[in-house]
């Protein structure tokens, strides 16, 4: 069971959030679905922090300013 916790932009996806490669893939699939985009595997491999993911989304012209996203990884 996952516990809710606050996340910050500088958090590392692996060490701070404890994601493994499969969980990162599931998270990425959720992002793709939420924003109706496709993220190439080469880009996913570059994600190290939450900020990396946010920067990528902004570069892809996704507007996330007013969106509250609740990601749940099962």
Dihedral, CA atoms, 12, 7, 53, 19, nearest 10 degrees?
A: 50
What DSSP designation does 49 have? B
d(CA 49, CA 72): 17
Q: Which of 29, 35, 25 is nearest to 63 (CA)?
A: 35
Residue 8 pLDDT? 87
Instruction: Name the residue ranges covered by the structural domains of the chain.
Output: 1-73
User: Using one digit for the tens of pLDDT, what is the confidence trace for 29-56?
Assistant: 998 988 888 999 999 989 999 999 988 9
d(CA 4, CA 20): 18
Q: Is this structure's pTM higher than 0.85?
A: no
Both tokens assigned to 21? 């490669």
Does the pLDDT at position 74 exceed 50? no
What CATH number was assigned to the domain covering residues 1-73?
1.10.1200.10
């Amino acid at each position: 069971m996952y516990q809710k916790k606050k996340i910050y932009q500088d958090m590392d996806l692996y060490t701070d959030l404890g994601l493994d490669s499969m969980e990162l893939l599931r998270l990425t699939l959720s992002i793709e679905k939420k924003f109706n985009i496709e993220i190439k595997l080469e880009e996913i491999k570059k994600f190290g922090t939450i900020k990396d993911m946010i920067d990528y989304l902004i570069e892809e012209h996704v507007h996330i300013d007013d969106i509250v996203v609740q990601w749940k990884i099962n």
